Amino acid sequence: MVGVPRSKACGLCRERRVKCDEIRPGCTQCARYGAPCPGYSRDLKFQDEGPGVRRRLQSSSRNPSSVRSKSSSRTRRGESSRSATQSIREHAMALLRRHVADTSIDERVDSSLVRKSFINSQPQLFSDFVCAAFPTLYFHNRFRSGTDPSFPDYITQNFGTHTYQDASVCSLSSIYLAHLTKDPALLRASRQMYSLALKEVCKALDTEEAFSDNMLSSVVILSVYEMYAQTSRDAWARHSEGVKRLMLSRGVKGSESGFGRSCYYAFRGFLIATALFEDKPCFLDEEEWQEFAAKVRAEDSQKPGEWSAFVDISEPIFMELTKCPRYLSEARTLSTSTSSSPEAAIALVERVTETRNKLLVSVEELRTCIAAHSQRAQGISYRPGNFVGPVPEVFADTSPSLLLRGATSAVAALDQLLASIRIDIATGRMAPSHRIYDITSPVASDETGSQTYSQASSPQSPSSGDGAPRVMTLPFRIVSEISRGPSGTSDQSDPRAVIWLDRIASSMGMLGIQIVQEPEDDPSDKGKKPVRPIIEESES
């Protein structure tokens, strides 16, 4: 028959419509694309094309420009202005839509065929999902894995070995496709697989699999599922809490190497986001995990790869960002505790200010490093200490640029936090003398350049009736990108509807974080002054 395709290319190259070099066991195109080569087998597939043809004809009649856009997209493929991440995203989204077409079999023909086809496509579909939904987190951190399998590689290689993991993978793949296509059948399938995954995870928790890599990755996947599904406001946070408990039970050693380390890279940003959401400290700021982060910095900065040059700057930023949830939690404690002392407020403000100052320095270093990297990508020669031109304020989305945005948001939030801590100086018994701590006017040391806090004396100090000023914070709540949820856009090709979790993970959970002051009904608030400008402490 004329026109019958006889391509010997691998399955992924056929789907991407690129020339395959047919190297075995895996082609070079797939290696460059960053996905495992599916091989060269041509399985027979019986499919009712009637519904698909009708949909395509209806789509073409409604939007005739769509046909032209396909041909024009090929002509734009070589344009240098398009970023690598955008190209990856477009290819992956095309693959995902093709998967939708491949699995849209008329269920009245053979429901078992539908189920078998859907399950068999899961390994490749999950890999495509990661490429599309987490382009920067995945591709810009692949160098960290070294010879160990990356997160999606491990999942695809182990698919079919554990029911709870397979069900988790199927639920996430289908909810993602349902999110993109608004297909109710996919939504129903995702819910069914999610229910099965929960059931199987609960069963496996009573076995030796409880603290395995497979269990950890499955709970990670279920948390991401809930971020898309939004079955309840905090369902995703409950799964994230499960990830936290598993990591604590496994200890730092469980994340030092192998797939456990890949899970650490993949989910650490969401662990910070969860701590912010739950108003709890993040365990990653504890000493042993901070030491592990320092070890990661030392090891990963020496690994080959284009993005390893950023590790010496990005990891210290991450280490400081892990402390922010604890600061917010302690500040809220100041407002609820009746025994909070000015000394506690001073100590908190000093720690917050120290982190803020470190982040400010690191942010400028990272911004310069990103700008230099951008110049090198454009063929402009760069020598350390000799950056050419002004440093841009906005960069295309990369893992370092998203971390930069997260750190910038964190600095602004810490400034808001410092302004929210107050002290009640309502009229009361007067202390004979006291000291004033001016915390908003740090004095730079001539020798070290570090900031200290000035002290001055004052003739008198109003205090509360018991002789001790009461420290508190103004009521506030925390909002961030993850609490706002996915974009409400109806355009399925809008990147905001596709990569919003990638932006959150790459910014270490800090993207768009804000402290929103709640209105106070207490008229006595006029007597409360910010602690940061002035804290009064009575001498005994």
Q: Is residue 211 over pLDDT 70?
A: yes
Q: Give the three-class secondary structure for 503.
A: helix
For 201, other C-beta atoms within 10 Å of its C-beta total: 23
Pick the more confident residue, 282 or 35.
Answer: 282
Q: Residue 45 domain-assigned?
A: no
Pick the more confident residue, 444 or 177.
Answer: 177
Place of tokens 């950023």: 310
DSSP-assigned beta bridge partners for residue 422: 472, 530
pLDDT band at residue 64 using 50, 70 and 90 as cut-offs: very low
Q: Residue 4 domain-assigned?
A: yes
**Domain total in the chain:** 1
CA distance 238 to 236: 5
52, 189, 120, 87 alpha-carbon torsion, rounded to 10°: 70
Q: Is residue 63 over pLDDT 60?
A: no
Q: Residue 88 domain-assigned?
A: no
Mean pLDDT value across residues 226-230: 87
∠ CA 275-276-282 to the nearest 5 degrees?
35
Sign for the CA dihedral angle at 58, 60, 61, 62 comes to: positive
Instruction: List the CATH number of the domain containing 26.
Output: 4.10.240
Place of tokens 């768009």: 512
Q: Is residue 539 over pLDDT 80?
A: no
CA distance 433 to 536: 10
Percent composition of the chain: helix, strand, coil (DSSP 3-state, to 5)? 60, 10, 35
pLDDT band at residue 32 using 50, 70 and 90 as cut-offs: confident
What pLDDT score does 132 carry?
84
Q: Residue 165 domain-assigned?
A: no
178, 179, 180, 186 alpha-carbon torsion, rounded to 10°: 0
- Condensed to tens digits (0 to 9), the pLDDT of residues 293-316 reads 999 999 999 999 889 999 999 999
Alpha carbon 39 to its chain centroid, in Å, reads: 32
Q: Residue 414 domain-assigned?
A: no
Q: Is residue 506 over pLDDT 80?
A: yes
Q: Of 137-141, 256-260, 362-366, 459-463, where does mean pLDDT reach its minimum?
A: 459-463
CA distance 118 to 110: 13
Pick the more confident residue, 381 or 34.
Answer: 34
What pLDDT score does 438 carry?
35
Q: Residue 35 domain-assigned?
A: yes
pLDDT band at residue 30 using 50, 70 and 90 as cut-offs: confident
Q: Is beta strand 535-538 parallel, antiparallel or unpaired with respect to 434-444?
A: antiparallel
Q: Residue 3 domain-assigned?
A: yes
- Condensed to tens digits (0 to 9), the pLDDT of residues 425-470 reads 443 222 333 333 333 333 333 433 334 333 333 333 333 444 455 5
Q: Is residue 105 over pLDDT 70?
A: no
Pick the more confident residue, 125 or 164.
Answer: 164
- Condensed to tens digits (0 to 9), the pLDDT of residues 345-392 reads 888 999 999 999 999 999 999 999 998 877 666 554 444 444 444 444
- Condensed to tens digits (0 to 9), the pLDDT of residues 161-175 reads 899 999 999 999 888
Q: Is residue 122 over pLDDT 60?
A: yes
Residue 32's domain comprises: 1-40
pLDDT band at residue 110 using 50, 70 and 90 as cut-offs: very low
286, 290, 296, 299 alpha-carbon torsion, rounded to 10°: -140
Q: Of 122-136, 170-184, 363-377, 462-476, where does mean pLDDT reach its minimum?
A: 462-476
pLDDT band at residue 6 using 50, 70 and 90 as cut-offs: low
Q: Residue 6 domain-assigned?
A: yes
